[in-house]
Amino acid sequence: MQLKQIRIGELIAPNNVFLAPLAGYTNYPFRRLCKGYGAGLCYTEMVSAKGLKYGSDNTAELLYTQENEGVCAAQIFGSEPAIMRAACEHEKLAPFPVVDINMGCPVPKIYKNGEGSALLENPVLAEKIVQECVKSGKIITVKFRIGVREGEYFAAEFAKRMAGAGARLLTVHGRTREKFYAGDVHFEEIAAAKAGVDVPVLANGGVFSVADAENLLEKTGADGVMVARAALFDPQIFCDLTGRARESKLAMFEKQLKWTEQVFDERFTTVFMRKMAAFYVKGERGAAAAKERLFRAQTPSEVLDIARVLWGD
C-alpha cells in the first residue's frame, strides 16, 4: 500500500498505518511490539476520564509507558466536558501528546451511560467535549462510527462537527453501533466524512491484509488505515503493510512475553500471554488441542514451553 506521513496538529506520524485502541490488549508491551513492526502510531486501551479523576489503580496500569516506546496516543472515554478536560490535563496523561476521544465503543455498559457511541446521538455534547479537551493543550483526535442504527448514517455531518470543534484527526469505523464488529464496512460513509473535512481521516474496519487496506483506501479516499482485531491475530501485519521483513512467530512471542514480564506480575503475564498465544495459533493444525494446553499453563515459563513446541524448529 502507499505509505505517507500523517500530520496530526504539530505531530508528524511516520506513516499512515495505526494500531487501534483495543480494550484488554493494547498495553505497553503489545504497543511496543506493533510499533517495532511498523505501526505509525499506537493507542492505549480506552481509559475512563472519571477513573483518572478518582485515582483508579486500574487506570494507572492502562497508561503505563516507557520512554523507549516513543510517541503514543492515549484514548479516553466519558460524557462530561469538564471531567474530560481534567483527564487530558492529568499528570498520568503527561507522556501522551495525543489524546483520542472514544465516540464509537458499542458495549452496552458504555453506551447506556451516555458514553462511547452514545455521543453520536448527542452531537452538541460531543462538540463541547472536544472543545474543552482542546483547551488542555493536547492534540485531540476522535474515533467514531458512521451511526448508531443501520440505515441512519451521518458520518459526514458528525465529522464536520468534530473537526470544527478542534479535532486534528478523525478515525471513522465504517459500521454502526448496532453492528458492533460484524457486517459490511460502508465505504461511502467514510468517503463522505473524508470529503467534508480538512483534517486527516483514517478508515477503520475490516483490514486483515494488505489487499484489504488498499481496497479501503481506494474506496474511501482516506489518508490512512487503523488496524484493530487483525493485529491481535498477527501483529506482524504491520510488517506487511509497511514493507518490513517478518520474523518467526516464536521470536515474536518470546519478545512479547519478555517485555510483559518486565512490566506486569507473574499472574497477569501468564493469563495475558495465554490469550495472545491462543490468538496466534488460530488456523494452525492442532489449534484446539494447543489452546487446551495453554489454558492449563500456570506460569509464564510453561506458556513459553508450549509456544516453543508449537513454533520451534
Looking at the predicted structure, is the pLDDT value of residue 230 above 80? yes
SS in 3 state form for 250-277?
Answer: HHHHHHHHHHHHHHCCHHHHHHHHHHHH
CA distance 143 to 191: 15
Note the pLDDT of residue 161.
Answer: 98
Note the pLDDT of residue 251.
Answer: 97
Q: What is the pLDDT of residues 199-225, one digit of tens each?
A: 999 999 999 999 999 999 999 999 999
Q: What is the pLDDT of residues 267-297, one digit of tens each?
A: 999 999 999 999 999 988 889 999 999 999 9
CA distances from 291 to 160, 203, 233 (A): 46, 33, 14
- Which residue matches cell numbers 469505523? 173
CA angle 202, 106, 90 (to 5 degrees): 70
Residue 225 backbone phi and psi in degrees, to 5: -125, 155
SS3 call for 155: helix
Looking at the predicted structure, is the pLDDT value of residue 313 above 70? no
Mean of pLDDT values over 96-106: 96
Res. 57 pLDDT band, cuts 50 70 90:
confident
Q: What is the pLDDT of residues 1-35, one digit of tens each?
A: 899 999 999 999 999 999 999 999 999 999 999 99
Note the pLDDT of residue 92.
Answer: 94
Mean of pLDDT values over 107-135: 96
Res. 178 pLDDT band, cuts 50 70 90:
confident
CA distance 35 to 208: 17
Give the global pTM: 0.95
Note the pLDDT of residue 61.
Answer: 86
Task: Tell me the domains of the chain and their CATH numbers.
Answer: 6-242 (3.20.20.70), 249-311 (1.10.1200)
Looking at the predicted structure, is the pLDDT value of residue 40 above 70? yes
* Average pLDDT for the chain: 95
DSSP state of 197: -
Mean of pLDDT values over 114-122: 95
For the CA atoms of the chain, what is the radius of gyration?
A: 19
Q: What is the pLDDT of residues 144-163, one digit of tens each?
A: 999 988 888 999 999 999 99
CA distances from 42 to 33, 157, 179 (A): 10, 27, 25
Number of neighbouring beta carbons within 10 Å of residue 137 = 10
Q: List residues with catalytic annotation.
A: 105
For residue 201, give the H/E element and its range: strand 201-204
